Chains A and B, each alone.
Chain A
Amino acid sequence: MVSETDNLLVSLKDVRFAYGEREILRGVNLKVPRGKVVAIMGGSGCGKTTLLRLIGGQLRATAGTVEVAGRNVSSLDTAELYEMRRRMGMLFQFGALFTDMSVFDNVAFPLREHTDLPFGLIRDMVLMKLNAVGLRGAADLMPAELSGGMARRVALARAIALDPMLIMYDEPFAGLDPISLGVIGQLIRKLNDALGATTIMVTHDIMESLQIVDYIYFVSEGGIVAEGTPDELRASKDPWVYQFIHAEPDGPVPFHYPAEALDECLIGGRAA
């Protein structure tokens, strides 16, 4: 799949990134073809969200190139970056809805900011987006009145308000009940196909992801340690993949944070 290099929307080549002295990514290579749903997986703190922020231009790579639609994100100035972001949608982990605006106003926000459309047209577009996520009836509610799953769906409607070419999801399934989780998963797939968009999803939820994505990258220790289609990964004997799919507590992703040997740090051990 990823060999279709002429049809790539997002491409990361030898990307390195560090927060101060702490290097998070050490030479990541990743390709996302147009029209596909791609998941980025890995343990907590491995740099998945950092990858999304690099693609969205919120962070700049310390080395390597991040290309979106053929343009190097790191070299864009603010105006160019904003121009590119108008064609991107992002769903944050807990929705990040504007709490002082109603559901309707949240979804209308990007339309009002970036277009001069008349009120009637904006209203119709917002109701259509809300209808797509099943929340047309909740247009007048405030974010505080929504459940976690509903807030995530409203944020999804807002993310697709401008019909983006690329939709990014940061942990879209975190903290959801099984029903909401299934609903969000199906929406991600259906909206991607209906809009002809491309989706990058950062998630921990392997079971849901295997059902809806076209390709998966596993991130660990600053790089891509495994990748493949859902069928390839189900059949994989790779220890990284095995540990993740079978939720093993210990393996290539260690259970213990690096520390000196236990008997060396216990007082009893020293006394002996």
Chain B
Amino acid sequence: MNGLLNFIRRLGAMAVEGVWRIGFAARFFMLLLRHSGQSLTRIHLTVREIYFSGVLSLLIIVVSGLFVGMVLGLQGYETLQRYGSGDALGVLVSLSLTRELGPVVAGLLFASRAGLAVTAEIGLMKTTEQLDAMDMMAVNPIARVVAPRFWGGVISMPLLAALFSAMGVFGGWLIGVVFIGVDDGAFWSQMQAAVDFRFDIMNGVIKSFVFGATVALIAVFEGYDCTPTAEGLSRAITRTVVTSALAILALDFVLTSLMFRGQS
């Protein structure tokens, strides 16, 4: 009986803690928006973070995009040729990438590369009292440290997702056209005919923008909120990766159901 009560008590405590954290994160987000002016007026702060979050993630995005596209080319051709539609490989690769894989996989990679780095950096600044020092110098750490990193992530992510999709299409072309022998003209012309700019490309961009904002918010919040110890920092980094991955997948379902519902 005691064990059951303890279990219920722990469950209740976890629920309260969860609600409290969501509330704190919402309040933190509002503060972040309120103090975002400096990220625009002192644009070099944001540009620096675009470099760290975006440019330094280029390698992993480019290489991953290429391989994902190549795998799509192989698997897609294998399936399409059974129905005599091997020439539609370009359509399959491009739609898969622009609608789903581009934003989602780029988002997951972005969370594990840039999101993790942002959490670690802000968390370490907190652990070593750098944020406190800044605050004591009458410099708001949310405006000076957090907001530029958030906006750097928001701006970088759609660009990285677009690059991921472009490299994926190139990978699919490489396998389909160069190695398997799908007709080059059919590959590109069918893709051009089937992919709609507003419906497919823009929805993909909106998705990647939402994922970027989500990952960036989780990353800066976890870093800012971490317990200032080695263990606390380690937990914050883990939470960033896990929460970001789950949030991306859940949001992808929600956005897909809103954007592509009832479309053929």
- Listed in ascending order, the chain A residues whose CB lies under 8 Å from chain B are 56, 58, 81-83, 85-86, 88, 90, 92-94, 96-99, 109-110, 113-114, 155, 158
Contacts and interface: CB of A to CB of B under 8 A. Distances in A.
Nearest to B131: A96
Contacts of A82: 138, 140
Interface in B115-166: 124-125, 128-130, 132-140, 144
Given A85-B135, A85-B138, A94-B128, 11 more contacts: A58-B135, A58-B136, A81-B138, A82-B140, A88-B136, A92-B129, A94-B129, A110-B137, A110-B139, A113-B139, A114-B138
Contact of B128 (A86, A99, A113): A99
Closest 8 CB pairs of A and B: A96-B133, A82-B138, A96-B129, A85-B138, A90-B136, A92-B129, A86-B138, A110-B137
A96 B128 contact: yes
Nearest to A88: B136
Contacts of B137: 85-86, 109-110, 113, 158
Contacts of B135: 58, 85
Nearest to A86: B138
Interface residues on B, range: 10 to 19
A85 B132 CA distance: 12
A56 B132 CA distance: 11
16 contacts: A58-B132, A58-B135, A81-B138, A82-B140, A83-B138, A85-B136, A85-B138, A96-B129, A96-B130, A97-B130, A98-B133, A99-B128, A109-B137, A110-B139, A113-B139, A113-B144
A76 to B, nearest CB: 12
B48 to A, nearest CB: 10
B134 to A, nearest CB: 8
A116 B220 CA distance: 29
B33 to A, nearest CB: 16
Contacts of A86: 137-138
B131 to A, nearest CB: 9
Nearest to A81: B138
Nearest to A84: B138
Contacts of A85: 135-138
Contacts of A56: 136
A99 B130 contact: yes
Contacts of B133: 90, 92, 96, 98, 155
Nearest to B136: A90
Contacts of A96: 128-130, 132-133
Contacts of B144: 113
Contacts of A113: 137-139, 144
A177 to B, nearest CB: 21
Contacts of A114: 138
Contacts of A155: 133
A83 B137 CA distance: 10
Nearest to A106: B133
A98 B139 contact: no
A211 B52 CA distance: 48
Nearest to B52: A100
A90 B125 CA distance: 16
Contacts of B125: 98
A169 to B, nearest CB: 12
A83 B129 CA distance: 21
A201 to B, nearest CB: 15
Contacts of A92: 129, 132-133
B128 to A, nearest CB: 6
A86 B140 CA distance: 12
A198 to B, nearest CB: 16
B139 to A, nearest CB: 5
Contacts of B139: 109-110, 113
Contacts of B129: 92-94, 96
A134 to B, nearest CB: 21
Interface string B199-237: 000000000000000000000000000000000000000
